[in-house]
Amino acid sequence: MVAHNLNCSLLKSHPLNYELWHRRLAHVNHNDVKKLIAQELVTGIKLDSRIAPDPICEPCLAGKMKANPFPATGHIAAKPLDLIHIDVHEPVHVQSHSGHKYYALFVDDCTKFKVGIPMKKKSKTFSAFLKFEAYAENQFKDTIKAIQDDKGGECMSKEFNDHCHKKGIVRRHTVRNRPQQNGSAENGNKVIGECITSMLSEANLPMQFWAEALLALMHVWNRCPTSALKGKTPYELWLKLKPDVSHLRVWGCLAYVHIQKDKRKGFSPHMEKGIFIGYPDGYKGWKFYIPSTKKAVISERADFDECYFPGLKKDLLAALPNNYYPPAPPPQVVQMPELEGDDAPSPDAPAEPIIPAPAPVPIPEAPEAENDIPDPPAVPPEPAPEPLPNAPRHSNRQRNPPGEW
């Protein structure tokens, strides 16, 4: 996992204030946004205005209204991988585009680093644990010491127990009807559900996108502060690197995704409309859903409109969001279209004003060769005298200066 350093630009100049960063950070609470800035826990946050955010956030109300947190246990493991909390979310009533209906949440008790893995079946919990175990142990060159779960059937299979006995992993379980004992994972699942609801609500996207929202939320959460950690983020404790959040964008917003040259033909557009749906692991780019093709693409070049959320409504996708565009600039600062190859102007070349094309003018036929003789007139001229021997030969036709064409 590396900090994103992308070639990106915004469709228009949005004020970089607390409210925009609250939305870019997947609707994390405003106090955590201020803490990120005040304590310099991340890089890449820029503010144009420090005006207090609006206390009413409709997507937050849609996902978090009347939400009561679990009480904290007060105990934190001494080292990473000393204790891993595991919880499997109950089946989602709508499966994702890839057929997932469950997800397993893994939380390191020391760093509070979270990993969410979507699953098609609850019985895949052990496979999900093996993926997390390989990733975590490779990261720290150490082994998991203990895991804690609610003793659900998905965590009590014979292969799961045999693996833990073989690796020397201590099993800890919560008491019946006391999920608070596994607070890190249980509380995490509760808040995850609220945040996913908020994200889907703002993006106007159907429930089938819950898995994409989950993975984007994990990416953001690990870069946000938590009350259990003092002056650090889970990302920094896990990866020993201060996170950069300059690549974050409001999930579900409209994006104009660049189409690479080898994917274009003739004068086809250089972009296509898409919906921003995540931060793919292993890529320095973003993930987009293209409604016209019903496919997901990954690109490092896109223009975002973080105030426009068309969802999958064809009428909104087809219409340009004119009410969000800034006023047209004066002619002297008109932005010229982007060119590629030999047609691209040099960086220092001044922008030329756009001038309306003149009316078509009839183009006279060009002579076939430079020394052609025009057609003879209606009255034949008198014959020219014979040239003297060895005298230089000169053409007697009248030469006119070249015209416009």
Domain count within the chain: 1
120 part of a folded domain = yes
125 part of a folded domain = yes
CA distance 168 to 203: 45
Q: Provide the pLDDT for residue 128.
A: 96
CA distance 144 to 320: 52
Q: Provide the pLDDT for residue 396.
A: 59
- Look at the block and give the residue holding tokens 């994972």: 185
Tell me which long-range contacts 363-370 makes (C-beta under 8 A, separation of at least 24): 363/405, 364/403, 364/405, 366/405
CATH number where 77 lies: 3.30.420.10
Neighbouring C-alpha atoms within 13 Å toward the C-beta of 255: 29
Q: Provide the pLDDT for residue 402.
A: 57
CA distance 157 to 126: 8
Structural domain boundaries, residue 166? 9-239
277 part of a folded domain = no
97 part of a folded domain = yes
Using CA atoms of 66, 69, 70, 71 in order, give the dihedral in degrees to the nearest 10. Answer: -120
Cα 46–51–57 angle (5° rounding)? 95
- Which stretches does DSSP call E strand in 70-162? 84-88, 102-108, 114-119, 146-149
352 part of a folded domain = no
| Distances 238 to 75, 80, 136, 214, 256 between C-alpha atoms, Å | 18, 8, 9, 20, 34
Q: Provide the pLDDT for residue 120.
A: 94
Residues 254 and 322 sit within 8 Å (Cβ to Cβ): no
Per-residue pLDDT of the chain (405 residues; tens, 9 = 90+): 444 555 555 555 567 888 888 888 998 888 888 888 889 899 999 888 888 777 788 888 888 776 444 454 556 888 999 999 999 988 898 999 889 999 999 999 999 999 999 999 999 999 999 999 999 999 999 999 999 998 887 888 999 999 999 999 999 987 654 544 444 555 677 889 999 999 999 999 999 999 999 999 999 999 998 888 888 999 999 999 999 999 999 999 999 999 988 888 888 889 999 999 999 998 999 999 999 999 999 999 999 999 999 998 877 777 655 444 443 343 343 343 343 444 444 444 444 444 444 444 443 444 444 444 344 445 455 555 555 455 455 555 566 655 554
Q: Provide the pLDDT for residue 316.
A: 72
383 part of a folded domain = no
Q: Quickly count: other Cβ atoms within 10 Å of residue 242's Cβ.
A: 16
292 part of a folded domain = no
391 part of a folded domain = no
